[in-house]
């Protein structure tokens, strides 16, 4: 799945080379965003290492493109991803916890 062009970047901040994933959301994450996802709690996001953890076929689903179509469907075309920690964490919380994007 990491060969897919959209999965080569963190779904939340666009950092290159994500090494983490939220397997229940089906998204790939950088280490910074993985920390924010861990703070959401396992009832929302379950984070695993792409390389260090084992994966079942059921956990290898969706991908960033499909997840963006679900979780970012209402974002305007001109949307720019937040880069500071506080705005990025707020964006992630709104997107997955409150589902307000």
User: How far apart (Å, rounded) are the C-alpha atoms in residues 94 and 31?
Assistant: 19
Which residues on neighbouring strands pair with residue 28, listed in sequence order? 21
pTM, entire model: 0.88
Q: Which pLDDT value is given to residue 63?
A: 87
| pLDDT band (50, 70, 90) for residue 101 | low
Ranges of each domain in the chain: 5-97
User: How far apart (Å, rounded) are the C-alpha atoms in residues 45 and 16?
Assistant: 21
Q: What is the pLDDT of residues 48-70, one digit of tens each?
A: 998 888 877 776 677 899 899 98
The residue whose two tokens read 């960033």 is 64
Q: Cα 67–72–78 angle (5° rounding)? A: 135
Q: Which fold has domain 5-97?
A: Annexin V; domain 1 (1.10.220)
Q: Which pLDDT value is given to residue 57?
A: 72
Q: What is the pLDDT of residues 8-34, one digit of tens each?
A: 999 999 999 999 999 999 899 999 999
């Amino acid at each position: 799945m990491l060969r897919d062009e959209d999965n080569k970047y963190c779904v939340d901040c666009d950092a290159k080379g994500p090494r983490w994933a939220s397997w229940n959301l089906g998204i790939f994450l950088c280490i910074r965003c993985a920390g924010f996802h861990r703070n959401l709690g396992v009832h929302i996001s379950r984070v695993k290492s792409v390389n260090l953890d084992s994966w079942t076929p059921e956990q290898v689903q969706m991908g960033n493109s499909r997840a963006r179509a679900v979780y970012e469907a209402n974002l305007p075309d001109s949307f720019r991803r937040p880069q500071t920690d506080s705005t990025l964490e707020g964006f992630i919380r709104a997107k997955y916890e409150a589902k307000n994007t």
